[in-house]
Amino acid sequence: MLTLHELEAWSFPGTALAVLGHPITHSLSPLMHNSALANLALTEPAYGDWRYFRFDVPPADLPQALATLYVRGFRGINLTVPHKILALNEVTLIDPAALPVGAINTLRHTQEGWMGFNTDGYGLATAVQESLGLKIRDRPVVLLGAGGAARGAAVECLQRHCASLWIANRTAETLAALLADLRPIAHGIPLHGFAPGHVPADLPADALVINATSSGMRADDAPPANLSDLPRPAGVFDMIYNPPLTPLLQAARNLHLPQANGLAMLVHQGAKALEIWSGVAAARTAPMMAAALQSTN
């Protein structure tokens, strides 16, 4: 793990990539990316000098860090908590697909400055199809949460033309604000909000349930919703990957529902970021990244 102080004296002869966060010690991104780059280098020597680093950068230091990384010639940056929203003010260009999300997690070095992207939505949709065999298109979605992660998931579901989107959140004001922001991009897709424990009578069965809350990261967390209250879902996807079995996923298992955690989402969003930097298709490097994570279990 590196810091801003070490970055100011940076010297690396190869192609540098990095992830910034605070804290960052838990990040699996260096393992995933460096493993994929090493695999690519076996047949494509040009990737032999590519390396992926991690920097602990407090929020107040983000502008200086990004400016220094740019001057030092870093090819690409990943951003994790708490930088995904803060970085919006620090980039020159933003991918149009990331604008409705209001957050970016991937930066690419351009002549004009940093260009921001968001690969989380791609990671979510690809992981749901891979892990649960479900496509978002034409399927009702029940989204748990209305925070930043939920916003990104909601935008992706709408952009992929889900049949309807039902958002459950305990705080009515937060829920109402998210629904208001989503309506202009829904383009006729039905949007609904409800409080957990007050399930609408017309909520459809066979929906995809996505947890975008932090509930489940601790062993004593209660599930963010009671799955028994919902018409039987087609599957349950929890964006949390540590722990691998959250209370929500355990409840899904008890009900014999298809269920998956967010590890595949982590892999696919990372593979998409590497595609943005290198041009190598995400579908090619995702298995390399997944294998690297499996080797740690």
Specify the CATH number of the domain 134-257. 3.40.50.720
Q: What is the pTM of this model?
A: 0.94
32 in Cβ contact with 289 (< 8 Å): yes
User: CA-CA distance, 153 to 124, in Å (whole number)?
Assistant: 7
Residue 297 in this model has a pLDDT that exceeds 70? no
Q: Where in the chain is the domain with CATH 3.40.50.720?
A: 134-257
Residues 6+ apart with CB under 8 A from 156: 120, 121, 122, 124, 125, 136
Task: Give start and end residues of each alpha helix (H) in 110-256.
Answer: 120-132, 148-159, 172-186, 247-254
Least confident of 125-139, 214-228, 271-285: 214-228
Indicate the pairing of strand 76-79 with strand 106-109.
antiparallel
Tell me the one-letter amino acid at 269.
Answer: Q
- Across 119-145, average pLDDT: 97
Torsion angle of alpha carbons 186, 148, 240, 63, nearest 10°? 130
Higher pLDDT, 297 or 254: 254
Tell me the one-letter amino acid at 130.
Answer: E
233 in Cβ contact with 257 (< 8 Å): yes
Residues 6+ apart with CB under 8 A from 77: 17, 18, 19, 20, 66, 69, 106, 107, 114
Least confident of 68-82, 148-162, 222-236, 283-297: 283-297
Q: What is the mean pLDDT of the chain?
A: 95
The reply to whether 272 belongs to the active site is no
User: CA-CA distance, 190 to 222, in Å (whole number)?
Assistant: 29
Q: What tens digit of pLDDT does each residue of 182-224 get?
A: 999 999 999 999 999 899 999 999 999 999 999 998 888 999 9
Q: What tens digit of pLDDT does each residue of 28-87 get?
A: 999 999 999 999 999 999 999 999 999 999 999 999 999 999 999 999 999 998 999 999
Residue 295 in this model has a pLDDT that exceeds 80? no
Residue 296 in this model has a pLDDT that exceeds 70? no
Closest C-alpha to 239, from 219, 209, 218, 199: 209
- Cβ count within 10 A of residue 135: 14
Residue 247 pLDDT: 96
* In this structure, CATH architecture of domain 2-118+264-294: 3-Layer(aba) Sandwich (3.40)
**What would you measure as the largest C-alpha separation in the chain, in angstroms?**
61
Could you give the percent of the chain with pLDDT greater than 90? 91
Catalytic residue among 33, 84, 109, 160: 84
Residue 216 pLDDT: 93
Q: Where in the chain is the domain with CATH 3.40.50.10860?
A: 2-118+264-294
- Cβ count within 10 A of residue 31: 16
Could you give the percent of the chain with pLDDT greater than 70? 99
